A and B are shown apart, each in its own frame.
Chain A
Amino acid sequence: MIKKLLTYLTFPIIFVWLLVVSYNSSKRKPDSVMELFSDPSWLNDWPKWLDIPLMKWINDGFKVFNEEYGIYFEIVNNFLLGAILSLKKFLIMMPWPLVIALVVAIVFFSSGRKLGTTVFVGICTFFIGFLHPKFWDKAIETTSIMIIGILICIIIGIPLGITMSRSNRVRNAILPVLDLMQTIPSFCYLIPGIMLFGLGAVPAIIATVIYAVPPLVRLTDLGITLVDTEVIEAAEAFGASKKQKLLGVQLPLALPNIMQGINQCTMMALAMVVIASMIGTRGLGDEVLLGLQQLNVGKATEAGLAIVLLAIVLDRITQAYGKKIQDRNMPPK
């Protein structure tokens, strides 16, 4: 009872404290507090002193943060940049027919040898370069950034989703954070990204992860939660430990949903890569931006189409794999 009362009391206390802080830190406050009572005109328009100094706090905090921990970001920066560059170099070095063949092979096997999908994806891949020869290397650059971004999403997202599915408390704590990540305008974290990592591909990856990881986390959580309780009970009844249950039953059965999450993650990452061209990330988005700046409608459309094609290719690859698992678990009668 007392504990509950204390929790309820905390919020008014914080609120009052914020009021006092905002009043004290404001430069445009009245000369004395008494004036507030004698002159109630501040009730008409929002008073200048009623303002939480959040901006100042964040700026100060960020500055200190940057000075103290900048070195670690440097390391992360170098590591990620190295990964992207080597992946990009490798893909660009490969002859383009070989890359197309590779994509076709991946689709063929991940879709369970579906010929239609495979041919379609092969044609789409070919048309990326066919639209404009310059697009081939750009598409590879975009893809490299995305692959690294999605890998990070998977490394963060799936374990987070698993943790959420296991505890309601963790879920309640993480859900609002995911909401925040999905709703906050992307420029709000693109800019600090630049300040920490400099212009280029790395802040784009960070932005991609922030933007694209929520659906993966949600769908992993959902996928595991949706696994039939009787099947889970069956595993438990045979004495499966938590680890055996997770790896042997929950994850494999949640895999179609997780693959859907990775698919969503890919699509959102692609959208973000285009936006990230505005902070100097090179790639297909860069071409769209250039077309717009030059009022070259044809060029922008061409680049836009190339992005759509890339999206189709990536979508089909991830979808096909999820579908294959789904079919195995629930074969059509």
Chain B
Amino acid sequence: MSKIIVNNIYKIFGPKPGQVLPMVKDGANKEQVMEETGHTVGLDNVSLSIEEGEIFVCMGLSGSGKSTLIRHINRLIDPTAGEVLVNNVDVCSLDEKEILEFRKKTMSMVFQRFGLFPHKTIIENVAYGLEIQEVPEDKRREIAQGQISAVGLDGFENQYPAQLSGGMQQRVGLARALATDPEILLMDEAFSALDPLIRSEMQNQLVDLQAKLKKTIVFITHDLDESLKLGDHIGILNGGRLVQVGRPEDIILNPADDYVKAFVKDVNRSKVLRAKTVMTKHDKFDKFDKSATNPSSIYKYDEDTFIEDLVPKVLKDRSTIEVIDKKGATTGYITSDELSVALTKTK
């Protein structure tokens, strides 16, 4: 069952969105609508579904509507038309009280510029969600303390956010979001304001946390490498339209249009593609003569290995990679031929 389902969402910003909606539905694009009516199209017929426990990355350039989309999920923004189902409940149908309850219990959010409360200490910041839920003081301090330790910020509890570096502040943001133990985590360009080293460190931390917690995460980014690294599925937005949804390999190997092509042009494919995607299946593999090859130059690799790790072996030792699945059975082979096909840019 899908955790979050977005059905035909439209969002138009401006004084009279309802009057512009038919025009957008008839297929006018963002520029035309802007020129003719002065309204901005935020989202244009976006539909997607996000499975429980996965990281769904929503990618696009600025103005593509990705931040607007994520704010529909917790209804910080109301759609002009369409519905958003979370746990099969239409969030737009909730009244004022229910929506507050829903935000408290179901999801929390991490922000690009951290969104920390400058007048509260780190521990008060982390405990904010619990404070809103009226959890007793000592209990919420205990939970907050645990979350602070989990992100490695012990000893900073009584500092103010402005005294911390950007990376540390975003860890506070993450700890604050996790403190309420939500089912869904919304991350709005959470790592975009950090410098590359810290960013990569935070990405690894998120991957580690996710391996333990198995939350449903919606992650917004404009960085393709980040989305490929984190995403189980990736949705690419352009001008408010969802142009492609798929697994990282699908996006790289079969870009849906020129926009996506331009995006994936310069990506390091060896870090994204896995052995099982590029291998030739063992029943179709005929060039390989077991007797002619030195057995010591055959290496066995798990099918989920990124081909980055295989490249040196194949190119340097002229060896052949035997791809095996989780049970140890051979599923296919990779030689320099397979690699050269996989690593060649699509024209």
Which residues of A come within 8 Å of B, CB atoms? 228, 230-231, 233-241, 244, 248-249, 252-253, 325, 328-331
A329 lies within 8 A of B162 (CB) = yes
Kindly identify which residue among B76, B131, B186 contacts A236, using a CB–CB cutoff of 8 Å. Answer: B76
A231 lies within 8 A of B132 (CB) = no
CB of B163 within 8 Å of the partner chain: yes
User: In the docked arrangement, what's the CA distance between A253 and B115, Å?
Assistant: 13
Name 25 interchain pairs, CB-CB below 8 A, sorted by A.
A230-B112, A231-B115, A231-B116, A231-B117, A233-B115, A234-B109, A234-B117, A235-B128, A236-B103, A237-B107, A237-B108, A238-B104, A239-B99, A239-B101, A239-B103, A239-B129, A239-B133, A240-B100, A241-B100, A244-B132, A248-B131, A253-B117, A253-B119, A330-B162, A331-B163
Q: Smallest CB-CB separation from B131: which chain A residue?
A: A248
Which chain B positions have C-beta within 8 A of A328?
Answer: 119, 160
B116 lies within 8 A of A233 (CB) = no
A331 lies within 8 A of B160 (CB) = yes
User: In the docked arrangement, what's the CA distance between A244 and B131, Å?
Assistant: 10
Which chain A positions have C-beta within 8 A of B229?
Answer: none
Kindly identify which residue among B113, B114, B116, B186 contacts A237, using a CB–CB cutoff of 8 Å. Answer: B186
Evaluate whether A238 and B160 lie within 8 angstroms (CB atoms) in the complex, with A329-B118, A330-B118 already known.
no
Evaluate whether A234 and B74 lie within 8 angstroms (CB atoms) in the complex, with A239-B104, A240-B132, A331-B163 already known.
no
User: In the docked arrangement, what's the CA distance between A328 and B121, Å?
Assistant: 10
User: In the docked arrangement, what's the CA distance between A272 and B95, Å?
Assistant: 49
**Shortest CB distance A331–B (Å):** 5
CB of B10 within 8 Å of the partner chain: no
Which chain A positions have C-beta within 8 A of B285?
Answer: none
Which chain B positions have C-beta within 8 A of A244?
Answer: 132
Q: Smallest CB-CB separation from A241: which chain B residue?
A: B100
User: In the docked arrangement, what's the CA distance between A266 and B118, Å?
Assistant: 28
User: In the docked arrangement, what's the CA distance between A46 and B100, Å?
Assistant: 64
CB of B56 within 8 Å of the partner chain: no
User: In the docked arrangement, what's the CA distance between A235 and B186, Å?
Assistant: 14
Kindly identify which residue among A234, A239, A325 contacts B115, using a CB–CB cutoff of 8 Å. Answer: A234
User: In the docked arrangement, what's the CA distance between A329 and B163, Å?
Assistant: 10
